[in-house]
Amino acid sequence: MGIFTNPSSPSFTRALHIKDRFLQSFDSLKQLKHVHSQLIRIGLDQENYLLNLLLRSSFDFKDTHYTRLVFHQTHEPNVFLWNTMVRGLVSIDCFKDAIASYASMRREGFSPTGFTFPFVLKACARLLDFRLGLKLHSQVVKLGFSCDVFVNTSLVSLYAKCGYIEDALKVFDDIPNKNVVSCTAIITGLAKCGNMERARLLFDEMGEKDIVSWSTMIQGYASNGLPKQALELFHNMLDHGLKPDCYAMVGALSACARLGALELGEWASSLMNIDEFSINPVLGTALIDMYAKCGSMTKAYDVFKGIRAKDRVVWNAEISGLAMNGHIPAAFAVFGQMQKYGIPPDGNTFVGLLCGCTHAGLVNEGRQYFNIMVRILSLAPTIEHYGCMVDLLSRAGLLDEAHQLIKSMPMEANAVVWGSLLGGCRLHRDTQLAEHVLKKLVELEPWNAGNYVQLSNIYSASHKWDDAENVRSLMGERGMTKLRGCSWIEVCGIVHEFLVGDTSHPLSEGIYSKLSELDKDLRAAGYVPTTEYVLFDIEDEEKEHFLGCHSEKLAVAFGLISTGPAEVIRVVKNLRVCGDCHEAIKLISKITGREIIVRDTNRFHCFSGGTCSCKDYW
DNA sequence: ATAGGGTTAG
């Protein structure tokens, strides 16, 4: 029996006093230890209720040494103390220790309670240990917790995190009293495996929605490449009178980043106290990334400067942003700063740096960074690093060396790597190697129509008519639908979408008359439309007249007629920018004196005064 | 007398 059962005991008031002290927070471990010493002095240091509060507070300081000391000095730990131990270890990310602690608890003969399982299952989920999960699940059943909604929600989350969505669904379906949390757990799992339709059905069926469920859906759309749906839901959430939390904000910002929707992104960020972005590095990173992907590095840098506790991810986002926007010396300088501040770089840091080298064609610098990473820092290069190196070498025309590197890689090359080599083939007009690469790409991405189109174009150009025809019929057999080129432009906070040859826009007439006006100007400037790009074109479209109707041209023309003369025109395209359009947009930037930024699947093209920041390589 | 499950950026 504990001290609180006997109010007449002389220690009762002192125990109450100490209990109240535990309900406040502690500024330092020293303060906590002081209260511990008081417990010992007044002889209450074996009072399990108070010890449990002490143990719980001790985890705030992430000092497992002291935590263990408290626990081991307890003569007769009860199940509350064991649960607190497991929970605390999970809360400080010591998942293996948490599981070990659970094992000790069982060895000591304690039977887990309904509270124990959520903690230990969470540890298991974070370790992605499916086998242990199965064992725990059978204990859950054996000990009679199969109807506990808390325990089952943890199981759903565990299976979903490990990628076993069917098992997760099975557990979920059998939960008798589902609630908003268990629904959110399964929605997370469905979103993770890309099944947003089913996730949405469940979401719409949920009676009660809270900020977590909204945020989960928004984030699910954003990370599954459905940014418009993400933003639509974000608006819905606001209409329901909910204020975005940092999770919803990160989802909305990443959707804006994908769409290149700068104004929307700034509007979204204005819904949150601006200080939050300086205090929370996750939020800050999302905002940097949004600005970077919208081509606005000046603003990204302001955010970056303001973030108080810059972790490695913050630094990486800034470096990558600068690199992808072509500010290479600045990217190198920020890397220098990062080292000065003693933040050790990781693999992602080097992806950013190598991407910068590729952008600027700095072959030697790229080789140096690769060596620093591998030889000095002993970081194992991933396929992304090889992709950057292949890109770098290919761009410089070192196609053989790039091809050799692919063959010598410790892993199988993926489509990105082969795609980089193909870029080099395109730039340096090597159709033979391109044919080889495209065959690989068709194998690796049988669903990607662009590869078939390019391969067939190359066959046609080298008069291999039969091969060309075979590729075409293969496309037909596989029921391929060509991915239609699609571009977005945001004007006054509204995202306008254009498809190839689109005439559905309300201002379509104005857009096309602007295009024919530009056509005259371009011809007067001596521009001759080129057909050689057709060879490597991924959009299989008739080019019956110059300045045809590729989506990026439509979007640019719309930008010209609907924005002020000093505004930057920002277009985002879902495919690589077409070569012909690229030439045309360069000249449009010269004739109109406008700055035009086109982000395609590979990189930024900043057109200004008749040239492009990509130096005609993409 | 004590506690619990679900959501974020590269």
- A116 closest-nt by C1' vs CA: B4
Q: What is the pLDDT of residue A547?
A: 42
pLDDT at A483 over 90: no
Q: Is the CB of A80 under 7 A from strand B?
A: yes
Q: Which two tokens stand for residue A548?
A: 């045809």
The predicted model gives A449-454 an average pLDDT of 84
pTM of this structure: 0.84
Q: HSE (CB half, 13 Å, CA atoms) of A562?
A: 22
pLDDT at A395 over 50: yes
Going by pLDDT thresholds of 50, 70 and 90, the confidence category of residue A545 is: very low
Amino acid letter at A203? Answer: F
Q: What values do phi and psi take at A531, rounded to 5?
A: -105, -10
Closest residue by C-alpha to C1' distance, nucleotide B5: A150
In tens, the pLDDT along A202-239 reads 999 998 899 999 999 999 999 998 998 999 999 999 99
A426/A415 Cα distance (integer angstroms): 16
Closest residue by C-alpha to C1' distance, nucleotide B4: A115
Closest residue by C-alpha to C1' distance, nucleotide B2: A49
Closest residue by C-alpha to C1' distance, nucleotide B8: A247
CA torsion A407→A408→A414→A415, rounded to 10°? -50
Q: What is the pLDDT of residue A542?
A: 43
- A319 closest-nt by C1' vs CA: B10
Going by pLDDT thresholds of 50, 70 and 90, the confidence category of residue A502 is: confident
Q: Is the CB of A157 under 7 A from strand B?
A: yes
More confident residue, A446 or A594: A594
Going by pLDDT thresholds of 50, 70 and 90, the confidence category of residue A42 is: confident
Residue in the structure block whose two tokens are 């920002």? A570
Residue in the structure block whose two tokens are 């209260």? A35
Q: What is the pLDDT of residue A493?
A: 85
- Measure Cα distances from A590 to A122, A274, A522, A593 in Å: 58, 38, 10, 5
Scan residues 237-296 of chain A and list those with Cβ within 7 Å of strand B.
Answer: 245-248, 250, 254, 257, 281-283, 285-286, 289
In DSSP notation, A60-106 reads GGT-HHHHHHHHHT-SS--HHHHHHHHHHHHHTT-HHHHHHHHHHHH
pLDDT at A541 over 60: no
A596 three-state secondary structure: strand
A557/A547 Cα distance (integer angstroms): 11
Query: Which positions of chain B lie under 7 Å from any protein Cβ?
Result: 1-10
- From first CA to last CA, the distance across chain A in angstroms is 75
In tens, the pLDDT along A64-94 reads 899 999 999 999 999 999 999 999 999 999 9
In tens, the pLDDT along A86-124 reads 999 999 999 999 999 999 999 999 999 999 999 999 999
Q: What is the pLDDT of residue A507?
A: 92
Q: Is the CB of A373 under 7 A from strand B?
A: no
A358/A31 Cα distance (integer angstroms): 54
Residue in the structure block whose two tokens are 């399982």? A117
H, E, C per residue of A318-340: HHHHHHHCCCHHHHHHHHHHHHH
- What percent of chain A has a predicted confidence (pLDDT) above 90? 66
Question: Residue A486 pairs with which residues in a beta bridge?
Answer: A499
Question: Which range scores top for mean pLDDT: A381-385, A421-425, A471-475, A519-523?
Answer: A381-385
Closest alpha carbon to A189 in A157, A212, A213: A157
- Measure Cα distances from A6 to A3, A42, A54, A608, A618 in Å: 6, 16, 21, 83, 79
pLDDT at A523 over 90: no
Spatial distance from the CA of A70 to the C1' of B10 (Å): 39
Going by pLDDT thresholds of 50, 70 and 90, the confidence category of residue A535 is: low
Q: What is the pLDDT of residue A411?
A: 93
Q: What is the pLDDT of residue A540?
A: 47
pLDDT at A543 over 60: no
Closest residue by C-alpha to C1' distance, nucleotide B1: A4
Gyration radius of chain A's alpha carbons: 30
Q: What values do phi and psi take at A174, rounded to 5?
A: -85, -5
A572 three-state secondary structure: strand
DSSP type of residue A394? H
Q: Which two tokens stand for residue A177?
A: 């009293």
A345/A325 Cα distance (integer angstroms): 21
A518/A533 Cα distance (integer angstroms): 21
A54/A52 Cα distance (integer angstroms): 5
A84/A58 Cα distance (integer angstroms): 11
Q: Is the CB of residue A564 less than 8 Å from the CB of residue A593?
A: no
**Across chain A, what does the average pLDDT equal?**
90
pLDDT at A531 over 70: no
Closest alpha carbon to A551 in A453, A610, A483, A492: A483
Q: What is the pLDDT of residue A548?
A: 60
Element holding A19 (H helix, E strand):
helix A12-23
A157/A165 Cα distance (integer angstroms): 9
Q: Which two tokens stand for residue A501?
A: 């040859």
Contacts of A511 (CB under 8 A, 6+ apart): A505, A554, A557, A558, A561
